[in-house]
Amino acid sequence: MTSSNGARTEIVEVARGVYARLHDGLTNAGIIVGDDSVLVIDSLRVPSFARELRADVRRITDKPVRYLVDTHGHWDHAFGNEEFTDAIIVGHVNCRRELEEYGEAWRDGVVARNNQWSDEIKTVRITPPDLTFDQRLELHFGGRRVDLVYLGRAHTSGDIFIHLPEDRLLFTGDVAQDGGVPYMLDGHMRDWVETDTRLLNLPFERFVSGHGPIGTKPALVEARDFMAALVSNAEGALRDGQDVPQATVTVRDALKGRFGDWRGFERLGDGVARLRGQMG
Ligand SMILES: [Zn+2]
Segment 123-167, tens digit of pLDDT: 999 999 999 999 999 999 988 999 999 999 999 999 999 999 999
Tell how far CA 260 is from the center of its chain.
22
pLDDT of 7: 74
Is 198 part of a structural domain of the chain?
A: no
Instruction: Give me the CATH number covering residue 78.
Output: 3.60.15.10
C-alpha 186 – ligand 1 centre gap (Å): 8
C-alpha 235 – ligand 1 centre gap (Å): 23
pTM for this prediction = 0.96
C-alpha 256 – ligand 1 centre gap (Å): 23
Is 88 part of a structural domain of the chain?
A: yes
Is 175 part of a structural domain of the chain?
A: no
* Tens-digit pLDDT profile for residues 222-236: 999 999 999 999 999
Is 213 part of a structural domain of the chain?
A: no
C-alpha 78 – ligand 1 centre gap (Å): 9
C-alpha 143 – ligand 1 centre gap (Å): 30
Is 4 part of a structural domain of the chain?
A: no
pLDDT of 106: 97
Is 188 part of a structural domain of the chain?
A: no
C-alpha 279 – ligand 1 centre gap (Å): 22
Beta strands in the chain (DSSP E): 9-15, 18-23, 29-33, 38-41, 65-69, 88-92, 131-133, 136-141, 144-150, 160-164, 169-173, 206-209, 215-216
Is 85 part of a structural domain of the chain?
A: yes
Is 97 part of a structural domain of the chain?
A: yes
Counting the structural domains of the chain, the total is 1
C-alpha 54 – ligand 1 centre gap (Å): 21
C-alpha 74 – ligand 1 centre gap (Å): 5
Residues spanned by the domain of 104 = 9-150
H or E element, residue 248: helix 244-259
C-alpha 177 – ligand 1 centre gap (Å): 11
**pLDDT under 70 in the chain at which residues?**
1-6
Say how far apart CA 108 and CA 106 lie, in whole Å: 5
